[in-house]
């Protein structure tokens, strides 16, 4: 902001002309990635010292040959002998002597061991004497019965700890490990964030007193600077972009939006369909955070992603050239990147870039350096193709285009995970493109996904910052529940929603907001399952109870989402309310965007022409400066649009139109399906490698979400893969190697045993070692896939997962001293768990409950 006023003698910025400040920051993310937070003392129940060190035993990078386990966020651990347990219906005699406590949800708890105040005080004083001022208190069952955490917190406050995080206040949800990580992250990051905020304030006169300073949180809402906390700041930067396209895209289309934010090192994708999509639990830098966050998927493919030719495949990333040395064309000795490929293809024009490159940062983008490096790459690739019998050499442009196609496919994968993996039709969305590099790839990405429209905001290059100016202030409250959703509990649920809504409204009113919106949610799941969905109520005219009248139909939303994501609903199964949540919005008065001048003619005059390479060949394409375009202008592709902050490519058979607000809407012509030649093609092989792996990854996500076994849901002890018609392995997700090496034999065993008897709708269960199994707890489910009326499967999909217990002689069904297979549990060589589309529940229950020796 320019005011024309000088900075004060003390070097402070004059705040008299500043109405408000809204910011996003990566300071918390960077501190977490680099492990530069404050030393933390972790207080846990006795016997749980290594709780967060062990974690959930997940191995997310199991194929990494140099695994580095993330370091702990805490420096020291204090174990205290106190314990609260839930009351059981059939209590033993000893339990009748324990005091009875009531939890926040009304559930009863028993106090096995009270807090020994003197012992805790002594232990915490020793920690304080070591110079540690930040403490995280994580006690079992405190999410619903926090009496012990409150006692320990009060002691810590008396001893002078400056940052005290109680896990039930950080996030009052089940799952002790995740809640513990969240509390540690809060205690670890918040002091670091506060120092950053104090440093920021110190640059202004009066330290910004009287100025409304708001920071963007991971959930897409703003919060006052004094309430900005570490655990809710992880996605502070990307969240602004989601708000930006959500708030501006709705004026151009009623269709759901897919956000496509392509930067230098990575690409973020998200979805908006009238409401923000949040996840309650996510993992960053090896730390699981329980807090509402926008559902943003990131893939390591951006403008700076490096290009390789490995083992006959075109490979893009995940390594990045970064800002220094940057891409080869930056003239600082950098490697070939996606940016270089776009430069070779004429999709970046050096004359429109500032001269900030080279060793002295005073030169233009260097085409010659990039061309020389691509010549070397082309020679290497052509030698490989020639050795494989392919005599047709590739040109430099062919090679660059091949890398662009592979990069595009890599960026399509997280978009498919957000849509297809949840039962949504990708083609029914509009692609909202932003970020510095997104405009060069948007048309190709949309065409690959079957999307017919791309939206490019006029501030696409800085949409994350612009989104912060449009965002609302958010106040959230949440509490655990644990009751069944039923008519008997409807009055209680309404009472608690009313109470939480009143808390949110009161907090926002105290901050000066009069226009307030309240959004109620229930965290619902089927009884006996472990997959809860955060559900807002659907509109309804039903009036069976006060909950329906006041808020709407939560169950309708739950059933619709469950069917969409998983393809079925469970009949005659109770639905449980895990948590009750209210999200309050303090609405900001955002001025409407100005409309631009209407064009007198539809087709504008180009400022020049350039040669751009596409799959169909080279085209002499017009160049347009977006600053000179008017509302109603239409531009037929191929063309290139130069903006102050980005370059936008309009591909052949696409039409870009300028809206009344100065945004661009690009209509994508639907292309005919391409017939792929079966001849070996390194580019097609690379593309289909991404597509097949994407399918296996989507299978894994759904399996993890729907699973009940802790081994599958938390330890990630499962594998998913695709197999050809002969049962041979085609592609797999990066799951468990011991599974993937044997699953092919399991599929081929079924082909040998069942021959041509398999029908559409059949699904096979197997775990026997003679049928390609590993150990019996690893169940393999195999689904043959038929195409149209063909009598034989065209391919197979299979998943293998470790179940908690299958009836062995010891808990876990892995007895160390077994002498026969029957002692390990139920064994299946080839069992039709689904026959003709019908789940054989009765038969599988009979097999699992029949003694293995019978």
95-108 tens-digit pLDDT? 667 888 888 877 88
Residue 227, phi then psi, degrees to nearest 5: -105, 10
The residue among 15 and 316 whose pLDDT is bigger is 316
Are the CB atoms for 259 and 245 separated by under 8 Å? yes
Residue 429 burial by Cβ neighbours in a 10 Å radius (0-12, 13-18, 19+)? buried
Is 346's pLDDT higher than 50?
A: yes
Tokens describing residue 403: 């890398």
| CB within 8 Å of 103: residues ≥ 6 apart | 109, 141, 144, 145, 480
Mean pLDDT of 479-507: 90
List of long-range contacts for 527-530, beta carbons under 8 Å, 24+ apart = 527/484, 527/573, 527/574, 527/575, 527/576, 528/573, 528/708, 529/570, 529/706, 529/708, 530/707, 530/708, 530/713
How far apart are alpha carbons 128 and 160 in whole angstroms?
A: 8
- pLDDT, residue 640, reads 93
| CA separation for the pair 262, 436 (Å, rounded) | 7
* Tokens describing residue 456: 């490019």
DSSP secondary structure letters along 786-836: --TT-SS-SEEEEEEEE-S-SS-SSTTS--TT--SGGGG----SSEEEEET
d(CA 342, CA 357) in angstroms, rounded, equals 17
**Beta bridge pairs of residue 631:** 598
pLDDT band at 343 (very low <50, low <70, confident <90, very high): very high
The per-residue pLDDT for range 421-442, each reduced to its tens digit, is: 788 888 899 999 988 788 889 9
Is 60 exceeded by the pLDDT of residue 631? yes
Q: Please give the structure tokens belonging to residue 650.
A: 């309009």
Q: Residue 396 and residue 398: Cα distance in Å, rounded?
A: 5
Is 353 within 8 Å of 645 (Cβ atoms)? no
Least reliable range by pLDDT among 18-22, 455-459, 578-582, 776-780: 18-22
* pLDDT tens digit sequence for 376-402: 999 998 888 888 777 688 899 999 999
pLDDT, mean of residues 228-256: 86
Residue 403 and residue 313 in contact, taking contact as beta carbons nearer than 8 Å: no
**Rounded to the nearest 5°, which phi and psi values hold at 260?**
-125, 100
What does the pLDDT read at residue 854? Answer: 44
> Hey, how many other C-beta atoms are within 10 angstroms of the C-beta on 183?
31
Name the residue among 21, 32, 22, 11 with its Cα closest to residue 193. Answer: 32
Q: Are 280 and 173 in contact (CB under 8 A)?
A: yes
* Averaged pLDDT for residues 292-300: 86
Gap between the Cα atoms of 732 and 719, Å rounded:
8
- What would the pLDDT profile of 182-204 be if each residue is shown by its tens digit? 999 999 999 998 898 888 888 88
Burial of 188 (0-12, 13-18, 19+ CB in 10 A): buried
Question: Which residue ranges make up each domain of the chain?
Answer: 24-202, 305-407, 475-585, 684-849
**Which pLDDT belongs to residue 146?**
92
- Please give the share of the chain, as a percent, with pLDDT higher than 90: 34
Beta-bridge partner residues of 259: 270, 432
**Residue 158 half-sphere exposure, CB side, CA atoms within 13 Å?**
13
Q: For 30-45, what is the mean pLDDT?
A: 90
Residues 725-734: pLDDT tens digits? 999 988 888 7
Among candidate residues 310, 317, 270, 274, the one with its CA nearest the CA of residue 294? 270
CB atoms within 10 A of CB 367: 15
Give residues with Cβ within 8 angstroms of 97, minimum separation 6: none
- Mean pLDDT across the chain, nearest whole number? 86
Inter-residue contact 265 to 278 (CB < 8 Å): no
Kindly give, in sequence order, each residue whose CB lies less than 8 Å from that of residue 422, ignoring residues fewer than 6 positions away: 564, 565
C-alpha span between 610 and 462 (Å, rounded): 26
Axis crossing angle, helix 463-470 with helix 236-249, rounded to the nearest 10: 70
Which residues lie closer than 8 Å to 395 by C-beta, 6 or more apart?
378
Phi, psi at residue 135, to the nearest 5°? -135, 140
Query: Going by DSSP bridges, is the β-strand pair 647-650/664-668 parallel, antiparallel, or unpaired?
Result: unpaired
**Residue entry with tokens 């297809």:** 420
Q: Quick one: how far is CA 216 from the chain centroid? A: 18
Look at the block and give the residue holding tokens 């939480």. 500
CATH number for 684-849: choose from 2.30.30, 1.20.120, 3.90.1010, 3.30.450.
Answer: 3.30.450
Q: Where are the alpha helices (DSSP H) in 202-318?
A: 236-249
Rounded CA-CA distance 448/50 in Å is: 47
Mean pLDDT of 574-586: 92
In sequence order, the 6+-apart residues with CB closer than 8 A to the CB of 357 are: 326, 329, 330, 331, 332, 363, 364, 365, 366
pLDDT of 838 > 90? The answer is: no
Convert 131-170 to b/e letters by CB count within 10 Å (16 or more is b). ebbbbbbbbbbbbbbbbbbebbbebbeebebebbbbbbbb
**Count of residues for the chain?**
854
Cα–Cα nearest to 213, from 4, 37, 361, 24: 24
Name which residue leads in pLDDT, 80 or 20.
80
Can you tell me the mean pLDDT for 467-477?
A: 90
**Among positive and negative, which fits the CA dihedral 844, 850, 853, 854?**
negative
Report the alpha-carbon distance of residue 661 to residue 658 in Å, rounded: 8
Beta-carbon neighbour count of residue 627 at 10 Å? 10
């Amino acid at each position: 902001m320019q005011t024309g006023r000088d900075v004060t003698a003390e070097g402070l910025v004059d705040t008299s002309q500043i109405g408000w400040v809204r910011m996003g920051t990566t300071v918390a993310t960077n501190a977490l990635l680099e492990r530069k937070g404050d030393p933390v003392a972790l207080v846990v129940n006795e016997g749980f010292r290594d709780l967060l060190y062990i974690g959930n035993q997940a191995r997310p990078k199991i194929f990494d040959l140099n695994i580095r386990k993330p370091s702990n966020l805490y420096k020291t651990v204090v174990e205290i002998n106190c314990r609260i347990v839930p009351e059981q219906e059939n209590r033993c005699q000893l339990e009748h002597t324990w005091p009875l406590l009531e939890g926040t949800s009304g559930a009863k708890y028993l106090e096995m061991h009270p807090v020994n105040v003197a012992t805790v005080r002594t232990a915490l004083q020793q920690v304080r004497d070591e110079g540690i001022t930040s403490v995280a208190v994580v006690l079992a069952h405190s999410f619903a019965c926090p009496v012990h955490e409150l006692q320990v917190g009060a002691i810590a406050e008396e001893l002078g700890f400056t940052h005290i995080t109680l896990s039930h206040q950080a996030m009052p949800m089940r799952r002790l490990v995740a809640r513990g990580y969240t509390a540690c992250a809060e205690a670890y990051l918040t002091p670091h964030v506060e120092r950053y905020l104090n440093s920021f304030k110190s640059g202004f006169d009066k330290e910004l007193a009287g100025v409304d300073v708001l920071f963007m949180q991971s959930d897409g809402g703003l919060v006052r600077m004094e309430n900005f906390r570490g655990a809710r700041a992880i996605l502070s930067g990307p969240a602004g972009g989601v708000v930006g396209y959500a708030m501006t895209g709705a004026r151009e289309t009623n269709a759901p939006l897919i956000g496509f934010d392509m930067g230098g090192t990575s690409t973020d994708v998200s979805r908006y369909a009238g409401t923000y999509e949040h996840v309650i639990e996510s993992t960053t830098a090896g730390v699981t955070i329980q807090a509402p966050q926008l559902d943003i998927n990131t893939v390591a493919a951006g403008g700076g992603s490096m290009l390789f030719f490995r083992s006959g495949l075109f490979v893009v990333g995940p390594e990045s050239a970064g800002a220094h040395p940057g891409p080869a064309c930056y003239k600082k000795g950098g490697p070939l990147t996606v940016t270089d490929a776009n430069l070779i293809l004429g999709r970046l024009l050096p004359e429109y870039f500032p001269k900030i490159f080279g060793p002295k940062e005073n030169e233009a983008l260097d085409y010659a350096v990039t061309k020389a490096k691509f010549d070397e790459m082309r020679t290497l690739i052509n030698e490989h193709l020639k050795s494989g019998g392919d005599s047709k050499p590739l040109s430099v442009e062919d090679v660059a285009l091949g890398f662009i196609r592979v990069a595009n496919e890599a960026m399509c994968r997280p978009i498919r995970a957000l849509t297809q993996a949840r039962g949504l039709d990708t083609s029914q969305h509009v692609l909202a493109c932003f970020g510095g590099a997104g405009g060069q790839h948007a048309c190709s990405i949309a065409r690959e996904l079957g999307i017919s429209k791309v939206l490019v905001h006029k501030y696409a290059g800085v949409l994350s910052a612009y989104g912060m100016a449009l965002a609302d202030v958010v106040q959230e409250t949440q509490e655990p529940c644990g009751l069944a959703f039923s008519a008997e509990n409807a009055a209680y649920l309404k009472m608690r929603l009313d109470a939480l809504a009143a808390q949110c409204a009161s907090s926002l009113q105290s901050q000066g907001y009069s226009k307030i919106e309240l959004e109620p949610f229930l965290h619902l799941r089927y009884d006996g399952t472990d997959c809860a969905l955060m559900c807002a109520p659907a509109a309804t005219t039903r009036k069976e109870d006060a909950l329906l009248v006041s808020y709407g139909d939560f169950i309708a939303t739950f059933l619709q989402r469950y069917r969409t994501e998983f393809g079925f609903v469970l009949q005659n199964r109770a639905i449980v309310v895990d948590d009750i949540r209210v999200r309050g919005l303090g609405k900001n008065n955002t001025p409407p965007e100005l409309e631009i001048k209407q064009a007198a003619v539809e087709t504008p005059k180009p400022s020049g022409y350039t040669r751009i390479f596409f799959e169909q060949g080279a085209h002499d394409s017009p160049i347009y400066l977006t600053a000179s375009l008017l509302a109603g202008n239409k531009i037929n592709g191929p063309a290139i649009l130069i903006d102050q902050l980005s370059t936008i490519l309009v591909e052949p058979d696409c039409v870009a139109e300028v809206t009344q607000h100065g945004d661009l809407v690009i209509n994508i012509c639907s292309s005919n399906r391409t017939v792929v030649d079966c001849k070996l093609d390194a580019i097609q092989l690379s593309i289909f490698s991404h597509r097949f792996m994407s399918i296996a990854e989507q299978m894994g996500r759904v399996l993890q979400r729907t699973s009940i076994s802790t081994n599958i849901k938390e330890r990630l002890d499962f594998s998913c893969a695709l197999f050809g018609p002969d049962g041979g392995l085609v592609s797999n997700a990066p799951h468990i190697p011991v599974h993937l090496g044997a699953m092919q034999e399991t599929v081929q065993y079924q082909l040998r045993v069942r021959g041509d008897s398999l029908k559409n709708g059949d699904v096979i269960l197997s775990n026997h070692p003679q049928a390609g199994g590993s150990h019996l707890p690893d169940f393999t489910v195999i689904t043959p896939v038929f195409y149209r009326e063909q009598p034989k499967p065209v391919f197979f999909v299979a998943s293998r997962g470790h179940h908690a217990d299958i009836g062995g002689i010891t808990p876990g069904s892995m007895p160390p001293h077994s002498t026969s297979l029957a002692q390990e549990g139920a064994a299946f060589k080839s069992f039709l768990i689904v026959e003709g589309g019908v789940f054989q529940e009765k038969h599988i229950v009979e097999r699992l409950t029949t003694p293995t020796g019978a």
